[in-house]
Amino acid sequence: MEKVHVIDRILPGSIAEELGLEPGDVLLTVNGNEIEDVFDYHYYTNEEYLTVVVRKANGEEWELDIEKEYEDDLGIEFENGLMDDYKSCHNKCIFCFIDQMPPGMRDTLYFKDDDSRLSFLQGNYVTLTNMKEHDLERIIAYKLAPINISVQTTNPELRCRMLNNRFAGEALSQIDRLYEAGISMNGQIVLCKGINDGRELERSIADLMKYMPVMESVSVVPVGLSRFREGLFPLEPFTKEDARQVLKVIHHFQEICMHRCGLHFIHASDEWYLLAEEELPKEDSYDGYLQLENGVGMLRLLRTEFAEALAEAKEAGAAENCRLTIATGLLAAPTIRELADSFCEVFPQIEIEVIPIVNHYFGEQITVSGLLTGQDVIGQLEGKDLGSRLLLPCNLLRSGEEVFLDDITLAQVENALQVKVDIVKSSGQDFVSCLLDG
């Protein structure tokens, strides 16, 4: 059956625009090759000389000869980003957060992906249990990297139990194939108390170290536990002392990895340091921030960028008098309050209140801002004098949209709280700019 790859958008100023391609056109072949999915598309369009065949809306087929720089993008976006069906997850992981979602939310929030192509395109982590030999061969042949892998444990039997998949242990052998082929990887361990921590964590780190430096980093993140866990595997939250023990293990192996390979390699997410009430590592401990999306080094990078931007703002001059409010998750609130205080020392005419939002929707054990809902923001801020503006972090909203996880819109929040809401991007520079934008 022919796969139909419909063009959704042509980027302005692109090669595709110069060729007269339009939304609605259908890509048929590149250099005589039919395109299976986005892996094929990126591989075949990397070449300097291309013959591309497209079918126009009126049924005409255009054969286009293209000369370009190697790896230059054609500037085409397709209706289906993968150019194929999404592969869903067949595991039943004991720690899966999607299984802890409440009923009644939009369907897309319940879809479990486990697609190696999303690892390449969007940085998603895959368990490898869904990767067929054909997928592995193409990754190696096309040299697609990095591949992000949800390892959880290198103990095959334990991995089978944690993922509730009898093939989960065997799938670890694919890491050897990727390593031998020199395909860059990053790993992730979702740590569950009493399951894959302690000796099992030590075993996993020691096993993964043999893949350095092809495997560039491994993050250790604590399992997220919502209040919707009825009937699920019993898991317990980590305590302050637990967090300190986890950090002790990670710091021990970091020293070994630095000696062997010049990489810290194994990294703890920021939650561990906050829970343990220990100082965040210095910037050079993060090996270039390879695992920011897993919350590894986000607060350290924010502090660094904020300090640089604040120094520049101080030289630039005065700011207008105003009072504003920042709302964020419990986890980040102390850091945000500290940064706000340092800002007010430079600009005392700006008054800032930082309000941590408790996650009543998913449960108080969920402390990250990215899982806050519009209804919790409204419920805990309604009736308060928020000043001239309310600042919210961008990760509260769905990517590219002004909608919260519970489908409440930004406009609804503004209307309920009767205040202008500004969304702060993730960098420290954006944070300072937003504070000054009175």
Tens digits of residue pLDDT in 115-160: 566 666 666 788 899 888 988 998 899 888 899 999 999 999 999 9
Same domain (yes/no): 127, 157: yes
Strands 147-150 vs 185-191: parallel, antiparallel or unpaired: parallel
Same domain (yes/no): 176, 29: no
The confidence score (pLDDT) of residue 116 equals 62
Running DSSP on this structure, what letter comes out for residue 284?
G
- Helix (H) and strand (E) counts for the chain? 14, 14
> Is the pLDDT score of 267 beyond 90?
yes
Q: Which residues pair with 326 in a beta bridge?
A: 354, 391
176 — pLDDT class (breaks 50, 70, 90): very high
278 domain residue, yes or no: yes
Q: Report how far residue 71's alpha carbon sits from residue 334's, in angstroms, rounded to the nearest whole number.
A: 44
Closest by CA position to 179, among listed 220, 204, 208, 206 = 208
Same domain (yes/no): 197, 307: no
136 domain residue, yes or no: yes
The confidence score (pLDDT) of residue 110 equals 61
The confidence score (pLDDT) of residue 414 equals 95
What average pLDDT does the chain have? 91
User: Which region among 122-126, 220-224, 333-337, 373-377 has the lowest average model confidence (pLDDT)?
Assistant: 122-126
Q: Which pLDDT tens digit goes with each residue over 226-245?
A: 999 989 999 999 999 999 99
Q: Please, is 204 exposed, middle or buried when counting C-beta atoms within 10 Å of its C-beta (0-12, 13-18, 19+)?
A: buried
CATH, residue 317: 3.40.50
**pTM attached to this predicted model:** 0.85
84 — pLDDT class (breaks 50, 70, 90): confident
What average pLDDT does range 104-117 have in this prediction? 66
Token pair listed for 305: 């960028």
Q: Per the structure, how many domains does the chain have?
A: 3
What is the extent of the structural domain holding 108? 98-295
Q: How many residues does the chain have?
A: 438
1 — pLDDT class (breaks 50, 70, 90): low
The confidence score (pLDDT) of residue 222 equals 96
Token pair listed for 438: 């009175």
Same domain (yes/no): 313, 285: no
> Is the pLDDT score of 375 beyond 80?
yes
Same domain (yes/no): 222, 352: no
* 3-state secondary structure (DSSP) of residue 67: strand
Q: Please, is 241 exposed, middle or buried when counting C-beta atoms within 10 Å of its C-beta (0-12, 13-18, 19+)?
A: exposed
Q: How many CB atoms lie within 10 A of CB 383?
A: 8
Same domain (yes/no): 112, 19: no
| Cis omega (within 30 of 0) for bond into 334 | no
39 — pLDDT class (breaks 50, 70, 90): confident
* 3-state secondary structure (DSSP) of residue 257: helix
Closest by CA position to 293, among listed 377, 402, 347, 219 = 219
> Is the pLDDT score of 423 beyond 70?
yes
